[in-house]
Structure 1
Amino acid sequence: MAEFLSLHEAVSRYVADGATIAMEGFTHLIPFAAGHEVIRQNKRDLTLIRMTPDLIYDQLIGAGCASKLIFSWGGNPGVGSLHRLRDAVEHGWPRPLEILEHSHAAMACAFEAGASGLPLAVLRGYIGSDLPQVNDQIRFIECPFTGERLAAVPSIRPDTSIVHAQKADQHGNVLVEGIVGVQKEAVMAAKHAIVTVEEIVDELDTHPNACVIPGWVIDAVVEAPGGARPSYTHGYYGRSNRFYKDWDAIARDRDAFNTWLEDNVYADEGARA
């Protein structure tokens, strides 16, 4: 059952060194505040999972938090590469990074399989792709009913999933509105879940087809206004396109990146405690 905690306490309790961590949110609702708290607490040897790793994973990787990345497509949306990710893969700075790449469809299916308690996900995919040559987690099986050749990947079962959302009620139930990615599946697939929200309200006031993550699958709810910035939260604030553009120059240079971390992440220590 969901417990209301500070961001510092939630990360300290549910993100351990060496853990497998998923941070999801598609286009908006990206949990930047939680990611920054992981950096501030100097978590190490994490296996990071995300369908579309963008700036927050670039920051986590550049800060030395990650030893492995499981992903599908990685980049600065609309701008270019993730330079801290590339530096880790190509030059081992600040530490070597193992990568395991999937397709979007396979990642979504793997999260759904994990949420369902299944050991693997089966999909039509990877036909003609080179990914099976570099990812030994992609296998092919024969359908026992039709004989069709299908792709299979392991289900995703993170130690902890972290997502951001608009609202939580007093019982810890969480409302996700706007573009919905795999937040609900990621939470339900994980051993533990942290959800940061813009506000805690008395009632969610939802419509019948709303995406509600029930409080009984969440360990910690954290009130963190602005917790998705510089991405956006539908209904609350917009995306900072300028930051995404500025990030390209910051991330290209190791010294510039470290200065940015000191000024914008470590200097904020205790702000969300």
Structure 2
Amino acid sequence: MAEIRGLREAVADLIRDGDTVAMEGFTHLIPFAAAHEVIRQGITDLTLVRMTPDVIYDQLIGAGLARKLVFSWGGNPGVGSLHRFRDAVENGWPRPLELDEHSHAGMANRYAAGASRLPFALLNGYRGSDLGRRTTTLSTIDCPFTGQELAAVAAVNPDVTVIHAQQADRDGNVQLWGLAGVQKEAVLAAERVLVTVEELVEVLEPRPGGVVLPGWVVDAVAWVPGGAHPSYAAGYSERDNDYYREWDRVSRDRDVFQQWLKECVTG
């Protein structure tokens, strides 16, 4: 059953050196505050999993905490490249970064297999792609009923999944709404789960299209208003577009990035 805890304490208890960590959230509800706490605590040698490793993972990679990235797209949405990501891949700075790249459909199916506690998932996809030659987590299998060749993708089971949501009650039941990505699947696939929330409420009021995560699948809930900034939380905040544009400037230069890290995260 989930406990209501402080962010610093929850991160220190649930995320450890060498873990495979998924921080999910699509367009909004991206758990930036939790990622910054990971940076402050210097938790390292992480395998980072995310369908769209945008600015949140650019910061973790630039801080030297990632050894591997499992993903299906990378970029600063609406702006351009992830320069700390590129520097790690192209130049090994601040450390080399191993890549395991998939399609969006492949990654979604990997989470679904992990959530179902199955070893792999099947899908129609990857035809004409060379990704199969670049990863050990993609193979093919013949359907036992039709003989059709299908793509098989290995399940993803993170040690820890971190998400941001709008609300949780005092028992640790969580509700999120608006654009939903693979948060539910990433939570159910993980061994440990941390959720940061905008608000603690006495009762979760049903929302159209809302996703409810029962407290028994969550280890810790931390009350962190604004914890998705610079992304947004539907109903609570707006996207900080200036931040994303400014990140392009900050992340291009190693010295400027390191100064930003000291002033805005670790200082």
TM-score scaled to structure 2, two decimals? Answer: 0.99
1:265 is paired with a residue whose SS is: helix
Residue 99 of structure 1 corresponds to which residue in structure 2? 99
Residues in 2 aligned to 1:140 and 1:171: alpha-carbon distance in whole angstroms: 43
What's the offset of the Cα at 1:239? 0.4
What's the offset of the Cα at 1:134? 1.4
Residues in 2 aligned to 1:136 and 1:168: alpha-carbon distance in whole angstroms: 38
- Per-residue CA deviation, residues 84-106 of structure 1 (Å, 9 max, x unaligned), is 00101111111110011000001
Alignment of 1:109-188 (within 5 A): 109-188=109-188
What's the offset of the Cα at 1:207? 3.5
Residue 245 of structure 1 corresponds to which residue in structure 2? 245
Identity fraction in percent: 62
Please state if 1:213 is matched with 2:213.
Answer: yes
Is the 8 Å Cα contact of residues 195 and 221 (structure 2) preserved in structure 1? yes
Residues in 2 aligned to 1:189 and 1:250: alpha-carbon distance in whole angstroms: 34
**C-alpha distance 86-208 of structure 1, shift in aligned 2 (>3 A):** closer
Residues in 2 aligned to 1:67 and 1:199: alpha-carbon distance in whole angstroms: 34
Residues in 1 aligned to 2:171 and 2:251: alpha-carbon distance in whole angstroms: 40
Residue 194 of structure 2 corresponds to which residue in structure 1? 194
Number of corresponding residues: 267
AA at the equivalent of 1:93 = W
**Structure 2: gaps of 5 or more residues:** none
**CA RMSD across the alignment:** 0.8
Residues in 2 aligned to 1:210 and 1:27: alpha-carbon distance in whole angstroms: 16
What's the offset of the Cα at 1:208? 6.4
- Per-residue CA deviation, residues 160-200 of structure 1 (Å, 9 max, x unaligned), is 00000000011111111000001011011000000000010
Residues in 2 aligned to 1:209 and 1:245: alpha-carbon distance in whole angstroms: 31
Residues in 2 aligned to 1:2 and 1:120: alpha-carbon distance in whole angstroms: 28
- Per-residue CA deviation, residues 102-141 of structure 1 (Å, 9 max, x unaligned), is 0000111111111111010111100111211212221000
AA at the equivalent of 1:100 = D
Residues in 1 aligned to 2:253 and 2:29: alpha-carbon distance in whole angstroms: 27
AA at the equivalent of 2:21 = I
**Structure 1: gaps of 5 or more residues:** 268-273
Report runs of 4+ in structure 1 exceeding 6 Å deviation.
Answer: none
Residues in 2 aligned to 1:30 and 1:101: alpha-carbon distance in whole angstroms: 20
